[in-house]
């Protein structure tokens, strides 16, 4: 029996598994920043904020496109203050947080 062949048979599926875990489809939201900013209004729905995990409330917002939504947070929108109280969030972090809030639990 060829030893290399046996090793390759064992190693190949393991490499596939690692590749699948290492390529996330959506960036993970920063839950620490979420808890210190977005959550304060978006968990309770304060002042008409679309609630976290309320997919129906987020649907018309998501229809605007992610770029417009990130701009709304950065510039502020009605009762939402500019930056959504996360002064050090990057555009990517905003997008991940928005995707998180608009997704079902």
Closest CB to ligand HEC among residues 7, 31: 31
Q: Please count the residues of the chain.
A: 105
Question: Any residues with CB less than 8 A from the CB of 55 and at least 6 apart, and which?
Answer: 102, 103, 104
What is the C-alpha to C-alpha distance for residues 29 and 74, in angstroms, rounded to an integer? Answer: 17
Q: Quick check: 99 binds ligand HEC (CB under 6 A)? A: no
Smallest separation (angstroms) from ligand HEC to the CB of 30: 9
How many residues in the shown chain lie near ligand HEC by CB under 6 A?
Answer: 27
Smallest separation (angstroms) from ligand HEC to the CB of 99: 10
Binding residue for ligand HEC (CB under 6 A) from 30, 52, 94, 99? 94
Exposure on the CB side of residue 97, measured as CA atoms within 13 A = 27
What is the C-alpha to C-alpha distance for residues 44 and 83, in angstroms, rounded to an integer? Answer: 19
| Residues at the site binding ligand HEC, with contacts judged by CB under 6 A | 37-38, 40-42, 46-50, 61, 64, 69, 72-73, 77-81, 84-86, 89, 94, 97-98
């Amino acid at each position: 029996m060829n030893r290399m062949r046996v090793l390759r048979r064992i190693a190949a599926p393991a490499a596939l598994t690692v590749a699948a875990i290492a390529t996330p489809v959506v960036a993970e939201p920063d839950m620490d920043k979420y808890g210190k900013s977005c959550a304060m209004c978006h968990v309770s729905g304060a002042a008409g904020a679309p609630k976290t995990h309320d997919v129906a409330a987020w649907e018309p917002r998501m229809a605007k496109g992610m770029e417009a939504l990130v701009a709304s947070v950065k510039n502020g929108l009605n009762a939402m203050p500019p930056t959504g109280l996360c002064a050090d969030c990057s555009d990517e972090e905003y997008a991940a947080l928005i995707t998180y809030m608009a997704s079902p639990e």
